Amino acid sequence: MRKIYLEDTSLPVAREQLLQRVRWQRRTEYVPTQQALGRVTAEPIYARVSMPNYHAAAMDGIAVKAERTYGADEQHPIRLRLGSDYAIVDTGDPIPAGFDAVIMIEQVQQIDETTVEILEAVAPWQHIRPIGEDVVAGEMIVPACHKLRAVDLGALLAGGIVQVPVWQKPRVAIIPTGTELIPPAENVAEGEIIEFNGTVFSAYLQEWGADPLYRGIVKDDFPLIKEAVRQAVREADIILLNAGSSAGTEDYTVHVVAELGEVLTHGVATRPGKPVVIGMVDGTPVVGLPGYPVSAYLALEWFVRPLVHDYYGLMEPQREKVKARLGRRVVSVMGAEDFVRMTIGCVDGQYIANPLTRAAGVTMSMVRADGLLRIPPGHLGYEQGEEAEIELYRPLEQINRTIVVSGSHDLSIDVLHTLLRETNPYRYMASSHVGSMGGIVAIQKGEAHVAGVHLFDEETGTYNLPFIQKYLRGMEVVLVQFVYRQQGWIVRKGNPLGIRTIHDIAKEGVTYINRQRGAGTRLLFDYLLKQGTMDRKQIYGYDREAVSHLSVAAAVAGGTADVGLGIYSAAQALGLDFVPVAEERFDLLMSRSFFLGREGQELLRIIRSDAFRQRVESLGGYSCRDSGTVIYDSSIMQGESYREESGPFG
């Protein structure tokens, strides 16, 4: 049943084809007004009573007949008698018959128990709320297809509406498919994958106002999937099939839809998210979403969110957008619309955006994303430094409060971020893992506030300072000691291959995993090769790159590598063994203006705190003995020689 894509439809065309074919069978239900927040009205709602339904005092004071006050002033005060000339009223009281104005109590002088004096005349109906001032009986309070807000509920109750006719929520059946899928669990065997897309779909659907119907995992079996769809059609307004939407031997979605109904689209011109199936079965829209999480979430937004809003007759909301300068080059391909997840921060008044991993299966790229860069078909992408428009996933105010961290990543930066959020919940941090050299370049170009660096210079035997002098000469920067950490060989439990030295890495049958170019760990590994008079060609896996220490540890834990150079805490986090090689200094490089500002000093206080030291050192393999020391300040050390330091081997 293998089948290639039926077509490569543009996203707008595929979406429009779907919306044009849907004919909703909407149902009305009545809900208590107090519980109607966010629901959509099924018909216009008219007030049954007026609010207020009597003439009411708008102030505390006395009710009077306006003409009785005419001529009153400081030279000619007028005295009024209780009962015949005035009545005492409080805010909200009915106005007694015969009176048509209220004088504020502050403007009344009490003469005796039954006599008051006034110094100013009032106009008819002054300080009185007439019948229907707020709501008039018979007036339309809200129209049909209106999403009820908090203030709407108050107006409805004021108008005597205690139950609201609303559209029943559209029911969306969620059918995850895959023989390898298992329900959420703490322990996962080899070959098993936790089914979590269904939970994400359900949460999105609830957020958009739909009622998710999770149908449970269905194995990769054509008759089973077909029967699941057939049953879902009887109960749901929309059906989601997750996975099996591509053209593999066990991708059955398109065949199921074709046999039960009609396929409108198989394949859209997007990246990621291309393998989408759009169809109709017995008048019910069926959307086949890719199995990869990022592709699935984007396709859910492209096709299912419009369906939900169309069901209600609501306009689909648009995200806020911002112009940002790209910190790295973003390449696209002709013919497909590209969607790139981005981190965004504001550096010196300029928004800076950096791409996250573009792999369709990396859920964390969506978690970390501040926005989305859409690259239209026919556009080859953007060069570093170019400006592009970004759709925001987070409020702009949050972006403005974000500290942009680039360069090498370390678990201690995550600790710093956590403590920052605990001490100041209005401050955020966005990290981009581009290696130490990438961090220096980001500071050089004004594209980051802070960069993590741990570059060992062979000639001087020192860390970081020679590179700052070389690449940031003349720039106002500050280098702060962050942590000392242990670098070593990350190996499987028990170290079965007996990895001890650099020469053991070159043994036959040993697979290495390296860090990306520009990473300090890679420079250290190259230094170790040089010290061992070895060539990189002797290392099987030298060209395979990982972007973090945890990625190295994950490769070793997963069996795709035997060894990698990394930090102790990464090995410990994944239950691996660690063979120490060197202690290195990991520093934070900042622009001087940021360092001296409120945010920089805030970070410095945290780095110097006992809480930071305790949390970092509890990870293992770290020392905070000099954390927070200013190692280099260009404004006072320009032209001076570097202080003597020990290299990675003391």
Q: Taking a C-beta distance cutoff of 8 angstroms, is the pair 391, 423 a contact?
A: no
Q: How far apart are CA 565 and CA 541, in angstroms?
A: 12
Least confidently predicted of 89-98, 241-250, 474-483, 618-627: 241-250
3-state secondary structure of 646: coil
Which residues lie below 8 Å from residue 335, measured CB to CB, with a gap of 6+?
8, 269, 377, 378
Given this model, what pLDDT does residue 202 score?
97
Q: How confident is the model at residue 335 (pLDDT cuts 50, 70, 90)?
A: confident
Comma-separated ranges of CATH 3.40.190.10 domains in the chain: 442-637
Q: How far apart are CA 620 and CA 486, in angstroms?
A: 9
Q: How far apart are CA 415 and CA 616, in angstroms?
A: 7
Fold designation for 28-52+133-167 = Molybdopterin biosynthesis moea protein, domain 2 (3.90.105)
Q: Which CATH class is domain 318-394?
A: mainly beta
Average pLDDT score over residue span 9-25: 95
Q: How confident is the model at residue 134 (pLDDT cuts 50, 70, 90)?
A: confident
Least confidently predicted of 52-66, 457-471, 503-517, 579-593: 457-471
DSSP 121-187: ---TTTTEE-TTSSB-TT-EEE-SS-B--HHHHHHHHHTT--EEEEEPPPEEEEEEB-TTEE-S-S-
Task: Please state which CATH number belongs to domain 56-129.
Answer: 2.170.190.11
Given this model, what pLDDT does residue 69 score?
95
Least confidently predicted of 164-168, 244-248, 261-265, 273-277: 244-248
Report the amino acid identity of residue 230: R
Given this model, what pLDDT does residue 120 score?
93
Q: How far apart are CA 155 and CA 158, in angstroms?
A: 5
Q: How far apart are CA 581 and CA 566, in angstroms?
A: 10
Q: How far apart are the first and last CA of the chain?
A: 64
Residue 388: CA count within 13 A, CB half-sphere:
31
Report the amino acid identity of residue 41: T
Q: How confident is the model at residue 424 (pLDDT cuts 50, 70, 90)?
A: very high
Q: Taking a C-beta distance cutoff of 8 angstroms, is the pair 531, 501 a contact?
A: no
> Is the backbone of residue 267 left (phi > 0), alpha (psi -120 to 50) or beta?
left
Average pLDDT score over residue span 613-641: 85
Given this model, what pLDDT does residue 5 score?
53
Q: How confident is the model at residue 1 (pLDDT cuts 50, 70, 90)?
A: very low
Average pLDDT score over residue span 246-266: 86
Q: What pTM does this model have?
A: 0.82
Comma-separated ranges of CATH 2.170.190.11 domains in the chain: 56-129
DSSP 251-293: --HHHHHHHHSEEEEE-BSEES----EEEEETTEEEEEE-SSH
Tell me, rounded to whole angstroms, the distance of Cα 413 from its chain centroid.
Answer: 19
Q: How far apart are CA 410 and CA 452, in angstroms?
A: 8
Average pLDDT score over residue span 209-215: 97
Average pLDDT across the chain, whole number: 91
Tell me the pairing of strands 277-281 and 262-266: antiparallel
Least confidently predicted of 32-46, 181-195, 216-230: 181-195
2 has a pLDDT exceeding 60: no
What percentage of the chain has pLDDT greater than the value 90?
77
Q: In this structure, how many other beta carbons lie within 10 angstroms of the beta carbon of residue 117?
A: 13
Given this model, what pLDDT does residue 334 score?
78
Query: Domain spanning 442-637: which superfamily?
Result: Periplasmic binding protein-like II (3.40.190.10)
Q: How far apart are CA 308 and CA 221, in angstroms?
A: 29
**Token duo for residue 643:** 């202080």
Q: How confident is the model at residue 265 (pLDDT cuts 50, 70, 90)?
A: very high
Residue labelled with tokens 């004071």: 61
Q: Taking a C-beta distance cutoff of 8 angstroms, is the pair 300, 210 a contact?
A: no
Fold designation for 11-25+170-312 = Molybdenum Cofactor Biosythetic Enzyme; Chain A (3.40.980)
pLDDT digits (tens, 9 = 90+) for 90-125: 999 999 999 999 999 999 999 999 999 999 999 999
Residue labelled with tokens 């930090």: 567
pLDDT digits (tens, 9 = 90+) for 446-497: 989 999 999 988 888 888 999 998 999 889 999 999 999 999 999 999 999 9
638 has a pLDDT exceeding 70: no
pLDDT digits (tens, 9 = 90+) for 66-92: 999 999 999 999 999 999 999 999 999
640 has a pLDDT exceeding 60: no
Burial of 109 (0-12, 13-18, 19+ CB in 10 A): exposed
Q: How far apart are CA 13 and CA 288, in angstroms?
A: 17
Q: How confident is the model at residue 363 (pLDDT cuts 50, 70, 90)?
A: confident
Q: How confident is the model at residue 650 (pLDDT cuts 50, 70, 90)?
A: very low
Closest Cα to residue 524, out of 454, 426, 424, 445? 454
Q: How confident is the model at residue 577 (pLDDT cuts 50, 70, 90)?
A: very high
Given this model, what pLDDT does residue 639 score?
40
540 has a pLDDT exceeding 50: yes
Which residues lie below 8 Å from residue 29, measured CB to CB, with a gap of 6+?
165, 166, 167, 168
Report the amino acid identity of residue 512: Y
Q: How far apart are CA 573 and CA 552, in angstroms?
A: 12
Given this model, what pLDDT does residue 321 score?
96
Handedness of CA 198, 201, 207, 212 (dihedral sign): negative
Q: How confident is the model at residue 249 (pLDDT cuts 50, 70, 90)?
A: low
pLDDT digits (tens, 9 = 90+) for 301-318: 999 999 999 999 999 999
Q: How far apart are CA 220 and CA 487, in angstroms?
A: 45
644 has a pLDDT exceeding 50: no
Q: Which H helix or E strand runs over 80?
A: strand 78-81
Q: How confident is the model at residue 190 (pLDDT cuts 50, 70, 90)?
A: confident
Q: How far apart are CA 597 and CA 450, in angstroms?
A: 13
**Token duo for residue 385:** 């430094």
Q: Where are the beta strands (DSSP E) in 291-386?
A: 321-326, 330-331, 337-347, 350-355, 371-375, 381-382
